[in-house]
């Protein structure tokens, strides 16, 4: 690597074609000519920045070291002389202007009363592409809606005349203190929503004493997120397993060295689901004439933002690999994305620390069941086959997907979960309000816990037992349930393909 060499912006600008394509990212110049056709997101987007500074486009959708790990050192040409680079002029469209106005008019945080509110604000104020990426889910989005709806099939059986002057909903997750039975689950590409990306989560988690699960595909670098943690702040890591196991091994061992307390291996994404809102957004962003000119070299239109950058994930990952994970790390291993009791039982028999009953926020297999429904099945069968009772310190059950209220969390805890993961609502909170938004979201949950624990007659998490809920309808997908108006008004219907403008 020519770390010292200084290159002028004018020199970079000459290399602006498919034949010779240089780009600037974070002040460094790279020759990406030979990489164009290998770029998982297609060559067209790189060519748009040929000879220019691509940092702003690059940043939200790549981990900071993506370029350095994928390009051989001889393609790292040197540093650009900053004063010589012309700023890429981004055209501000009328739509963008209108959006910025909506951002300026967002309500003050004290008017946000629940987690649905963050979603409603984000939907109106986030850049369209970011909203499409975060909110989208697989196929007809049946599972993503079911994730929330399933909680409506669980009803409470409160205890009365319990002294609830003091209530305490703090707990332990994998042995680590948490101010509530909630953790911030992993969601990728945080900088699509806010320039500080996942750092917003790290900061708010510290203030509220909750645990953050760092995603493999964070927009911030792993070390940045660990460095930003306060002394003693607990973080977990979500892991996508690379086809190249040496990369995964390095990542895992580095994480352990940096003090990560639990490794959540994603097992529900051998291939990324089709999220049509995300895909259509990309499709519409293309100029159709350009795409047909580019022919087979054009961007693969079948991909959305997520799919385009997921090609490193190993679809060959299987049960036999778990022994290898145990040989490379002492961190507790948890499988994230378990969807049937048989697999939970296997994980238990292998001595893993737990499982997350999850369908990836409905973004993978449509018609996968909700985590809370699978929870009921798992506790029943693990009791029957191994005599286990839950919550269980040695084998912990987690649930994520569709959680918007402390009552949702309380239902899952009463049914045997140790804690519940929340993803999108925190993303929406920081996209509109930065880390203060996440703090507000956590405060709202705090207030909801306090009230609902009292009203249920539960003084502590230990009191949250199955007798507090009636989940007898959980497996029935046909019962009429009153609809959740706040949620429904945020839920965005899908669209069909449209005729081209002529
Ligand atoms: O759900 C996702 O979008 C996701 O997990 C992912 C996977 C690969 C790249 C980006 C996001």
CA 500 / ligand 1 centre spacing (Å): 29
Rounded mean pLDDT, 242-246: 95
Instruction: Please name the residue whose Cα sits nearest to atom 3 of ligand 1.
Output: 306
- 3-state helix vs strand vs coil in the chain, percent to 5: 45, 15, 40
Report phi then psi at 197, rounded to 5: 50, -135
Instruction: Please name the residue whose Cα sits nearest to atom 5 of ligand 1.
Output: 188
The CA distance from 134 to 247, in Å, is 27
Ligand 1 atom index nearest CA of 313: 8
CA 231 / ligand 1 centre spacing (Å): 29
Ligand 1 pocket, residue 130 CB under 6 Å: no
DSSP string, 201-259: HHHHHHHHT-EEEE-TT-SS-HHHHHHTSPTT--EEEEEPPBSSHHHHHHHHHHHHHTT
CA 186 / ligand 1 centre spacing (Å): 10
% pLDDT > 70, the chain: 92
pLDDT value at position 298? 43
pLDDT higher than threshold 50 for residue 287: no
pLDDT higher than threshold 80 for residue 42: no
pLDDT value at position 291? 37
Rounded mean pLDDT, 127-139: 93
Ligand 1 pocket, residue 307 CB under 6 Å: no
Ligand 1 pocket, residue 309 CB under 6 Å: yes
pLDDT higher than threshold 70 for residue 502: no
Ligand 1 atom index nearest CA of 269: 5
268 in catalytic set: yes
Ligand 1 pocket, residue 363 CB under 6 Å: yes
Catalytic residue among 240, 348, 433, 487: 240
CB-side neighbour CA atoms (13 Å) of 203: 14
pLDDT value at position 284? 58
360 in catalytic set: yes
The CA distance from 225 to 203, in Å, is 9
Q: Which residue(s) pair with 176 in the sheet?
A: 173
CA 240 / ligand 1 centre spacing (Å): 9
pLDDT higher than threshold 80 for residue 440: yes
Question: pLDDT tens across 190-230, in order?
Answer: 999 999 999 999 999 999 999 999 999 999 999 999 999 99
pLDDT higher than threshold 70 for residue 393: yes
Q: Between these two residues, 49 and 456, which has the higher pLDDT value? A: 456
pLDDT higher than threshold 70 for residue 485: yes
Mutate to test the pocket of ligand 1, among 136, 269, 278, 421 (most ligand atoms within 8 A of CB): 269
CB atoms inside a 10 Å sphere around CB 314: 15
**Is the torsion defined by CA of 213, 217, 220, 222 positive or negative?**
positive
Ligand 1 pocket, residue 217 CB under 6 Å: yes
Rounded mean pLDDT, 112-130: 95
pLDDT value at position 67? 82
Binned at pLDDT 50, 70 and 90, residue 299 comes out as: very low
pLDDT higher than threshold 60 for residue 283: no
pLDDT higher than threshold 50 for residue 395: yes
Ligand 1 atom index nearest CA of 360: 1
Report phi then psi at 28, rounded to 5: -115, 150
pLDDT value at position 2? 57
Rounded mean pLDDT, 13-37: 89
Question: pLDDT tens across 340-370, in order?
Answer: 999 999 999 999 999 999 999 999 999 999 9
pLDDT value at position 294? 38
Report phi then psi at 362, rounded to 5: 70, 15
Q: Between these two residues, 253 and 42, which has the higher pLDDT value? A: 253
58 in catalytic set: no
CB 359 within 8 A of CB 147: yes
pLDDT value at position 483? 85
pLDDT value at position 346? 98
Q: Which residue(s) pair with 31 in the sheet?
A: 22
Instruction: Please name the residue whose Cα sits nearest to atom 1 of ligand 1.
Output: 363
Binned at pLDDT 50, 70 and 90, residue 61 comes out as: confident
How far CA 240 is from CA of 175, 215, 252, 271, 328, in Å, comes to 24, 8, 11, 11, 16
Of 27-36, 84-93, 159-168, which gets the smallest average pLDDT?
84-93
> What's the mean pLDDT when you consider all of the chain?
91
% pLDDT > 90, the chain: 72
Binned at pLDDT 50, 70 and 90, residue 421 comes out as: very high
pLDDT value at position 206? 98
pLDDT value at position 288? 42
pLDDT value at position 351? 98
């Amino acid at each position: 690597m020519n770390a010292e060499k200084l290159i002028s912006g004018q020199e970079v600008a000459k290399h602006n074609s498919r034949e010779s394509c240089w780009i600037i990212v974070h002040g460094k110049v790279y020759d990406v000519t030979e990489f164009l056709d290998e770029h998982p997101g297609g060559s067209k987007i790189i060519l748009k920045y040929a000879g220019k500074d691509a940092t702003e486009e690059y940043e939200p959708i790549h981990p900071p070291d993506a370029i350095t790990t994928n390009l051989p050192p001889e393609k790292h040409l040197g540093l650009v002389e900053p004063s010589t680079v012309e700023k890429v002029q981004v055209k501000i469209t009328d739509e963008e202007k209108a959006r910025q106005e909506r951002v300026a008019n967002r309500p003050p945080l004290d008017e946000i009363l629940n987690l649905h509110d963050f979603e409603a604000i984000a939907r109106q104020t986030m850049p369209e592409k970011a909203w499409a990426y975060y909110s989208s889910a697989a196929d007809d989005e049946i599972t993503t809606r079911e994730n929330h709806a399933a909680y409506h099939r669980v009803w409470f059986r409160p205890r009365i005349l319990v002294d609830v002057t003091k209530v305490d909903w703090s707990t332990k997750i994998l042995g680590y203190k948490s101010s509530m039975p909630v953790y911030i689950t992993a969601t990728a590409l945080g900088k699509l929503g806010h320039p500080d990306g996942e750092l917003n989560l790290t900061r708010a988690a510290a203030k509220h004493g909750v645990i953050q699960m760092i995603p493999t595909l964070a927009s911030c670098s792993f070390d940045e997120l660990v460095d930003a943690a306060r002394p003693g702040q607990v973080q977990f890591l979500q892991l996508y397993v690379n086809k190249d196991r040496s990369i995964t091994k390095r990542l895992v061992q580095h994480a352990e060295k940096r003090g990560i307390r639990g490794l959540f291996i994603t097992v529900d994404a051998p291939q990324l689901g089709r999220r049509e809102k995300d895909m259509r957004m990309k499709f519409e962003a293309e100029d159709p004439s350009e795409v047909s000119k580019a022919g087979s070299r054009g961007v693969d239109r079948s991909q959305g933002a997520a799919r385009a950058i997921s090609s490193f994930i190993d679809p060959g990952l299987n049960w036999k690999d778990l022994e290898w994970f145990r040989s490379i790390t002492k961190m507790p291993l948890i499988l994230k994305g378990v969807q049937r009791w048989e697999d939970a039982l296997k994980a238990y028999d292998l001595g893993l620390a737990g499982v997350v009953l999850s369908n990836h926020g409905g973004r993978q297999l449509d018609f996968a069941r909700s985590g809370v429904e699978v929870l009921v099945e798992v506790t029943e069968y693990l009791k029957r086959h191994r005599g286990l009772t839950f919550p269980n310190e040695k084998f912990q059950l987690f649930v994520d997907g569709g959680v918007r209220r402390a009552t949702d969390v309380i239902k899952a805890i009463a049914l045997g979960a140790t804690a519940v993961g929340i993803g999108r609502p925190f993303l929406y909170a920081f996209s509109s309000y930065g880390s203060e938004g996440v703090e507000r979201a956590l405060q709202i949950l705090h207030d909801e816990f306090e009230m609902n624990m009292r009203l249920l007659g539960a003084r502590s998490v230990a009191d949250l037992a199955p007798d507090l809920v009636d989940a007898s309808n959980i497996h029935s997908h046909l019962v009429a349930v009153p609809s959740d108006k706040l949620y429904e008004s945020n839920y965005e219907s899908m669209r069909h393909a449209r005729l081209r403008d002529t």
